[in-house]
Amino acid sequence: MATARRRRMGDRKEGRLLRSLPGFAKFIPFIMPQRNDRFIHYEESFEVTELDRMLRKLRVEGYKGIGILHFLIAAYIRGISRLPGVNRFVVGRRIYARDNIEVVMTVKRALTVDATETTIKVVFEPTDTVLDVYRKMNEKIEEIKSSEENNGTEDVADFIARLPRFLIRFAIAILRVMDYFGWIPKSLLDVSPFHGSMIITDLGSLRIGPVYHHIYNFGTLPTFIAFGAKRHAYEINRRGEVEDHKYIDCKFVLDEGIVDGHYWAQFLQAYRYMFAHPDMLVSPPSKVYEDIV
């Protein structure tokens, strides 16, 4: 990926400036400077017949608890390996290619109303498989759930929250300026839940359907994926017989500032294809494509 390239003037700690974009693409962040100006909402129901079969097989092989969450993240990573423009971000009215793949997720330490929650950020490679995702996610989640101590994200938030309100507003304003010019320290970017490739939430675990969740104007996150629990649908096949099909509903909020609608359509079509052919995510991709310069 872009990490092998030499840094140039204008690059950031987490990505490199895209210099060969068409003029209209460079103009978009000036026309729509806020991320919520550039929202695209997309909803799709994916049939999980083949995916269920694969997940049951993997659980028998010892991958206890592997599920749709791991598959959705793995499919997102595989999509980036083919369509790397999805891993761009807009900040400071410029478009950058991210150096790595960072997935953000909120985790509750227990499924109770008063249980504390935190965010985790897991770094992936474009060659990662669904098994790599399973391992990396489980390691991070178990680390959080087994510890009562705050992680880096909570430490920063707790420190700022103890300040008087006028100082909090001042601190946030300073952070926005620092983010605009790429001055935020790497150590802070590493724990920020607002900086990353994608944020995902499993609302099926809460027994509700997916929602269109906003993506934040602060930071660099261009994608929010929410999905619900599996549901059954009875459909009539070509022979006039009633069949039971299982689906999951997903809702995507996407930043059109990083790529155009056609590019996002190609990515979402690839997502649909991977639901029909989930076995492809058990092995690494044959080729990884790099974003433009």
CA distance 83 to 273: 14
Give the tens place of pLDDT for each residue, 197-236: 999 999 988 888 999 999 999 999 999 999 999 999 988 8
Q: How many CB atoms lie within 10 A of CB 148?
A: 7
CATH of 40-145+196-282, one of 3.30.559.10, 3.40.50.10300, 3.30.2320.50, 1.10.10.10: 3.30.559.10
| Edge-first strand listing for the sheet containing 94-98 | 15-17, 94-98, 88-91
- Please give the pLDDT value at position 3: 46
**Strand 223-227, strand 39-47: pairing:** unpaired
Contact in structure between 221 and 198 (CB atoms under 8 Å) = yes
**Predicted structure pTM score:** 0.90
Give the model confidence (pLDDT) of 111-125 as tens digits.
666 666 788 999 999
pLDDT digits (tens, 9 = 90+) for 144-184: 776 666 666 677 778 888 889 999 999 999 999 999 999 99
pLDDT of residue 191: 87
User: What are the phi and psi torsion angles at 83 (to 5°)?
Assistant: -125, 75
> Given this model, what pLDDT does residue 144 score?
75
Mean pLDDT to the nearest integer, 77-98: 97
pLDDT in tens, 13-57: 999 999 999 999 999 999 999 999 999 999 999 999 999 999 999
Instruction: Classify 234 as helix, strand or coil.
Output: strand
Mean pLDDT taken over the chain: 91
pLDDT value of residue 1:
47
178-208, pLDDT tens digit by residue? Answer: 999 999 999 999 989 999 999 999 998 888 8
Contact 249, 42 (CB under 8 A): no
Residue extents of the structural domains in the chain: 40-145+196-282
